[in-house]
């Protein structure tokens, strides 16, 4: 179990509380009904649940840790500080708006450029994935590990596509290469949960192009703390804001990179 003496243990406890608060808002609007609009295009949806859950998360976390900065999908960046929270209040908004049960909330804590804590809560299933750097990854209090599968063929993979895929179709190339090799690829539509599923051993790997820091910050830590590997497409260590992310159980990593990059 995660040690209470970890310097960011209090932050993790508050992040878990904030995630539960956000989930409650998601469920409230599913029951009540919600209005929705668009951001960058007609498929890039935003709902009342996105905005209100981010405000609730922000208010809770910054009231507890007023020295911290905050980077959220809906509200932009606040504070240029050594410690900040990175939040996606509703990852998988399109799924949420259509009643497709694969969406949740993602929260990460970054300190001096390093992700120290991460929480991903699956709203539909009520599952909570979390990690503290150096303390392992957990699902509802139970330790989780990546799978031990070493063969790429037969591994279960996930990917996703940007909202403006007609203008930025690069991942269609990698997706096509994977399918031509007979790889098993799913496209659930919520990157944070995809990464959590790699950490929990439900997927062997995940890759995507053009994700934002709030999409991946918590999941990145979860995968590494569960024994997996996270890089860019060249196999170099991943960094927030990079255009490419590849996360696997580690054993299939090189084979997946080769499959994506080879015609």
> What pLDDT does residue 84 have?
97
Confidence of residue 165 (pLDDT cuts 50, 70, 90): confident
pLDDT of res. 80: 63
Model confidence over 25-82: pLDDT tens digits? 999 999 887 767 765 565 556 788 999 999 999 999 999 999 999 999 988 666 667 9
Taking a C-beta distance cutoff of 8 angstroms, is the pair 87, 54 a contact?
A: yes
Mean pLDDT, range 189-199, rounded to an integer: 98
Q: Is pLDDT of 119 > 90? A: yes
Distances in Å between the Cα of 87 and the Cα atoms of 31, 54, 164, 172 are 24, 8, 22, 28
* Ranges 25-39, 113-127, 150-164: which has the least confidence: 25-39
Band (pLDDT 50/70/90 cuts) for residue 117 is very high
E strand map for 123-179: 127-132, 137-139, 142-143, 156-158
- Confidence band for 194, pLDDT divided at 50, 70 and 90: very high
- Residue-level pLDDT at 20: 98
Which pTM was predicted? Answer: 0.94
Phi then psi for 191, rounded to 5 degrees? -60, -40
Q: How far apart are CA 216 and CA 86, in angstroms?
A: 10
How far CA 8 is from CA of 75, 135, 219, 234, 258, in Å, comes to 24, 11, 17, 32, 37
| C-beta of residue 122 within 8 angstroms of C-beta of residue 104 | yes
Under the banding of pLDDT at 50, 70 and 90, the label for residue 93 is very high
Pairing of strands 205-209, 244-248: antiparallel
Over range 81-110, report the average pLDDT: 95
Of residues 32 and 189, more confidence is placed in 189
What's the confidence (pLDDT) of residue 1?
Answer: 64
> Does the structure show a pLDDT above 60 at 178?
yes
pLDDT top residue among 1 and 199? 199
CA distances to 71, 107, 215 from 240, rounded to whole Å, are 12, 14, 10
At 243-252, the pLDDT tens digits run 999 999 999 9
Comparing 44 with 156, which gets the higher pLDDT?
Answer: 156
Q: pLDDT band at residue 148, thresholds of 50, 70 and 90?
A: very high
Banded pLDDT at 83 (limits 50, 70, 90): very high
Q: Are 59 and 18 in contact (CB under 8 A)?
A: no
Burial class, 56, CB count within 10 angstroms (exposed 0-12 / middle 13-18 / buried 19+): middle
Burial (Cβ within 10 Å: 0-12, 13-18, ≥19) of residue 170: middle
137-139 sheet: strands from edge to edge: 76-78, 69-72, 83-91, 104-111, 114-122, 127-132, 137-139, 142-143
Which residue from 170, 145, 161, 174 is spatially nearest to 256, judged by alpha carbons? 174
């Amino acid at each position: 179990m995660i040690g209470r003496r970890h310097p960011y243990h209090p932050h993790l406890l508050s992040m878990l509380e904030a995630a539960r608060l956000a989930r409650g808002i998601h469920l409230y609007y599913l029951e009540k009904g919600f209005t929705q609009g668009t951001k960058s295009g007609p498929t890039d949806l935003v709902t009342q649940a996105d905005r209100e859950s981010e405000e609730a998360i922000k208010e809770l976390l910054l009231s507890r840790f007023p020295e911290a900065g905050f980077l959220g999908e809906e509200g932009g960046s606040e504070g240029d500080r050594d410690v900040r929270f990175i939040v996606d209040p509703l990852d998988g908004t399109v799924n949420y708006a259509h009643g497709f049960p694969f969406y949740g909330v993602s929260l990460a804590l970054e300190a001096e450029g390093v992700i120290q804590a991460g929480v991903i809560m699956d709203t539909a299933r009520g599952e909570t994935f979390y990690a503290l750097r150096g303390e392992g990854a957990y699902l509802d209090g139970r330790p989780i590990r990546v799978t031990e599968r070493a063969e790429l063929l037969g591994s279960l993979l996930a990917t996703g596509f940007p909202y403006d895929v007609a203008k930025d179709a690069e991942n269609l190339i990698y997706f096509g290469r994977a399918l031509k090799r007979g790889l098993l690829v799913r496209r659930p539509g919520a990157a944070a949960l995809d990464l959590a599923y790699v950490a929990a051993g439900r997927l062997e790997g995940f890759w995507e192009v053009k994700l934002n820091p709030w999409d991946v910050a918590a999941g990145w830590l979860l995968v590494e703390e569960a024994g997996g590997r996270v890089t860019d497409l060249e196999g170099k260590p991943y960094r927030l804001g990079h255009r490419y992310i590849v996360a696997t159980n580690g054993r299939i990593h090189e084979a997946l990179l080769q499959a994506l990059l080879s015609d």
